[in-house]
Structure 1
Amino acid sequence: MTYREAALIVLEASEQLMTVGEITEAGIKRGLIRPEDKTPVFTNMAVLYTDGRDGQSGRMKRIFARRKTRVGPGYVRLGLN
């Protein structure tokens, strides 16, 4: 299963906005993804963010937190359209 497919399943089950780290952790715990790399959160982040940038995210939406700086955990949350 791809990171994208796992993210959709996790988001459907949670019915709330989640960070990429939360999505990745839930996907691993549920056995949806079995990462072979050392940094699965960053791999998933790259997949989901480039999908959103390229217009391939389909049902996923990105929500940006309101704060003064863009950096830091939890700035971008993902949900379903």
Structure 2
Amino acid sequence: TSLGAYPTFNFHIAGVGGRLVTVAYENDQESLDGLLGAVRKDKAPLVYLSNPDNPMGSWWEASEIIRFIEALPRTTMLV
């Protein structure tokens, strides 16, 4: 997830013994490419995407989210 996203995401990850990987914002917005890179690097089984993002209030258009979904590995679940 992005570095500043909802802190409760970590509660779920910690509850199942996982490790939360965060990606820094770019231009005051989540970086879809940064998230995708982290997913691939860490072979993440799960990725959280806040849309709209909290606390920044930024959002991604549907076409950008579809591109992100299509680029995710088949083994990664998007939440």
Name the TM-score, length of structure 1 as normaliser. Answer: 0.33
Q: Give the strand-richer structure, 1 or 2.
A: 1
Q: Give the helix-richer structure, 1 or 2.
A: 1
Name the TM-score, length of structure 2 as normaliser. Answer: 0.33
